[in-house]
Amino acid sequence: MVTKTAVDTRERILEAAAALLVAEGRDGLSTRAVSAAAGVQPPALYRLFGDKDGLLDAVAAYGFDEYLTGKRALGSTGDAVEDLRRGWDLHVEFGLSRPEFYVLMYGDARPGRTSPAAREAEAMLRSIVERVAEAGRLRVSVERAARLVHATGMGVVLNLIATPEGERDAELSATARETVLSRILTGTEEPAGSDLPERAIALRAGLDGAAVLTDAERVLLAEWLDRIADA
């Protein structure tokens, strides 16, 4: 069982690490520097976080708690496409207001290693994209749409962070957002599900509720529908 003392120590370490990150960037997050700033011995840090990667994941989650709280609080407008736009804008706004945490979370991507905070953010995005699919508004699969939105949004934020504030293109985010949406969404003048890929995407979005199918049948049908959607 985790004691209150351990919880307090963990919080103190994270507060110290977050302050160092803002002041000195990622290079300032040595275990020695964090331990000294928090007033603890290095073994306490390793005991609570395992290793430096564990500490970095925890600091990213600590910094992103504000973002995730804001994302949860967005709620729904009742229009999944508008919710996708709002989610994009919140993502960009947070990245520019807390660049040190954003770069820590997304600027050092490695295969097979994703922080818990990043996974939660991606799950929230996928949930919105699934609602867009259920409304019959996607022209590509949920997986491809979510990856396009995530990759493009991340690239926009990292580009803006790397650009001096006075030189940033104020329209870059909105232009990129609408370009991606035009690629993944059906046209507003088109009836939902008016062609084969859109029908496949809408059907795929509701497939989990098809209790009449066995698990194996659902997996096979999902594969076929994804292939049709991305053809």
What number is the average pLDDT over the span 1-7? 61
The top-scoring range by mean pLDDT among 59-63, 95-99, 102-106 is: 95-99
Could you say which DSSP state residue 228 is in?
Answer: H
CA dihedral angle for residue 196, residue 183, residue 117, residue 205, rounded to 10 degrees:
-10
**What local confidence, expressed as pLDDT, does residue 190 receive?**
46
A 10 A CB-CB count for 190 gives 14
31-38 vs 52-73: helix axis angle to the nearest 10? 70
CA distance 223 to 227: 6
* Residue 171 in this model has a pLDDT that exceeds 60: yes
pLDDT interval class at 56 (50, 70, 90): confident
**What local confidence, expressed as pLDDT, does residue 2 receive?**
47
* Residue 54 in this model has a pLDDT that exceeds 80: yes
pLDDT interval class at 229 (50, 70, 90): confident
pTM higher than 0.75, yes or no?
A: no
pLDDT interval class at 209 (50, 70, 90): low
Least confident residue range of 44-53, 108-117, 162-171: 108-117
CA distances to 4, 50, 108, 142 from 8, in Å:
6, 17, 29, 41
pLDDT interval class at 96 (50, 70, 90): very high
From the list 135, 104, 118, the residue with the least C-alpha distance to 21 is 104
